[in-house]
A = this chain, B = another copy of it.
Amino acid sequence: MTAYLAGHLADIRAAAERIRGAVRRTPLLGTDLSPDLLLKAESLQVMGAFKARGACNAIRSLRERSPEAAGVVAVSSGNHAQAVAWAARAAGLPARIVIPQGGNPLKVAGTRALGADVVTDGVTFANREEVGRRIVEETGWHMVHPFDDWDVIHGQGTAAVEVLEDAPDVEVVAVPVGGGGLLAGTALAVRALSPQTRVVGVEPEVADDARRSFADGRLHRLADTPPTIADGVRVLGLGGRPYEVIVERRLVEDVVTVSEAEIRAATVACWQRCRLAIEPTGALPLAAYLAGRLGGGRAALLLSGGNFDPRVVAEFLRDAG
């Protein structure tokens, strides 16, 4: 093992210790689809997504490093927002979350219900990072980035450690990729612990920046928010740290894409055949598996989250019925 991998593995192991008891050890589930298929159901994680791992590790690390830290800031309209609000409350720190106007009212309400101060006035998708930075400057609070932060990446990597503990013989681990925090954490953990296991990132065809970045070794960014139903990966490009792990160090085997129709079909298959209520983003790895894009062998798929929009799911199920 390289010193690079050994260092990151030590950090992932420290993260696992740090977040134990606060986040759940989610089950690695068999299915009726294939005896070779295992599902790591992070939809059953605290707050319904793997994001609780990274947020909890980042905020507990912050408290260890800077006992004087007075609060945290996050910019997110999705699962990261609720994860940071939850982890901050558990740590006794105030949280301010920047969400663009017009965001999903359920997620805004959910974030507020966790005690966070939600900032939406005058916030757009374009200026939200800037608004976040201004709050950091004004308050001195700590920004918890959703993916470009080593503490967050190491926290996300703890899920893959659990997968390998539960199924050491797994041949491929597949995860969704947006900003790349989960994929980077997974790659670091799997490369260190089970070098023969392949790690594959899965993204929507209409948001294939990571695939292109991986293919030609330079950073591609999308021009606009991609029109995918997988709203958890509506990110313009990989973060710098994930880029280092995924593209520069090439610690993943492949990045593959799936169509919107494949995501939709996999979401319905997951609900109906695997009885797990996931959000469409969580179905990305299953979509790639069902399309035969992960290669053969015993596969563990990380279902990233279960915070679906009920109206969207209702439409999918009505059409499937």
Contacts and interface: CB of A to CB of B under 8 A. Distances in A.
A8 to B, nearest CB: 29
Contact of A275 (B30, B32, B48, B310): B48
A43 B31 CA distance: 11
A310 B306 contact: no
Copies in the complex: 2
Contacts of A275: 43-44, 48, 276-278, 306
Interface string A252-282: 0000000000000000100110111110000
Interface in A274-316: 274-278, 306, 308-311, 313-316
A65 interface: no
Contact of A318 (B271, B274, B311): B311
A47 interface: yes
Contacts of A316: 314
A54 to B, nearest CB: 18
A46 interface: yes
A91 interface: no
Contacts of A272: 277, 308, 310
Contacts of A48: 32, 275
A24 to B, nearest CB: 6
Contact of A44 (B29, B47, B310): B29
Contacts of A92: none
A27 interface: yes
Interface in A155-189: none
A317 interface: yes
Contacts of A47: 32
A20 to B, nearest CB: 14
A29 B32 contact: no
Interface of A: 24, 27, 29-30, 32, 43-44, 46-48, 268, 271-272, 274-278, 306, 308-311, 313-318, 320-321
Question: What 6 A-B pairs have minimum CB-CB distances, sorted nearest first?
Answer: A275-B306, A311-B321, A314-B318, A310-B321, A314-B317, A27-B27
18 contacts: A29-B44, A32-B46, A32-B47, A32-B48, A44-B274, A44-B275, A271-B277, A271-B310, A272-B308, A275-B277, A275-B278, A309-B321, A310-B321, A311-B317, A311-B318, A313-B317, A314-B318, A318-B318
